[in-house]
């Protein structure tokens, strides 16, 4: 399992872009994790799935609400990672009105989640292998803080917790 001090695993996440610009075409675009995190401070949080109750009602909204405070604390970007495809993540972004505040990144085959070792097997519930719920503060591609939730919990991966850690 990934831990503080480790480098994020290399890989590609997918992001649905609705407005063409900065070299990104409309539709799914690849995001190289190594390149996208280089030289930046990233508030990265991951969750089991788009449109699921806790994720939609609490987890993503906490980061949208704390966007300005996280930026003021030195965070360059906020990433939400879920084992969903880019189309689902794009639809979820529209539903939750994340706008330019949170990058909604799909890990469709769970490759990134598996590489971090932070997976959750929900096969018995018909959802397959998913990401566990966690948050991390990433500085120049390295994990500076990691908050991994216990099964069924939402206690330490919220934006307020990561904001306090970013300010420390």
Residues carrying an active site annotation: 55
Q: Which residues have C-beta within 8 Å of that of residue 110, sequence separation ≥ 6?
A: 83, 119, 128, 129, 130, 131
Max Cα–Cα distance, the chain, nearest Å: 42
Q: How far is CA 165 from CA 62, 92, 94, in A?
A: 15, 27, 29
Exposure string (b/e) for 81-103, b if CB count within 10 Å is 16 or more? Answer: bbbbbbebbbbbbeebebeebbb
Tell me how far apart the alpha carbons of residues 108 and 84 are, in angstroms, rounded to a whole number.
Answer: 5
């Amino acid at each position: 399992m990934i831990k503080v001090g480790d480098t994020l695993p290399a890989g590609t996440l997918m992001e649905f872009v609705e407005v063409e610009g900065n070299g990104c075409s409309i539709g799914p675009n690849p995001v190289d994790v190594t390149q996208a995190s280089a030289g930046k401070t990233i508030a990265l949080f991951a969750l089991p799935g788009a449109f699921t109750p806790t994720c939609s009602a609490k987890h993503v909204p906490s980061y949208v609400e704390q966007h300005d405070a996280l930026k003021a604390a030195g965070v360059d970007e906020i990433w939400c990672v879920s084992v969903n495809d880019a189309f689902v993540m794009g639809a979820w972004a529209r539903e939750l009105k994340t706008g330019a505040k949170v990058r909604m990144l799909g890990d469709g085959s769970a490759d990134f989640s598996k590489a971090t070792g932070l997976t959750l097997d929900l096969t018995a519930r018909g959802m397959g292998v998913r990401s566990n719920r966690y948050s991390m503060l990433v500085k120049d591609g390295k994990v500076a803080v990691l908050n991994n939730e216990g099964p069924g919990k939402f206690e330490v991966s919220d934006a307020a917790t990561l904001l306090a850690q970013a300010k420390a």
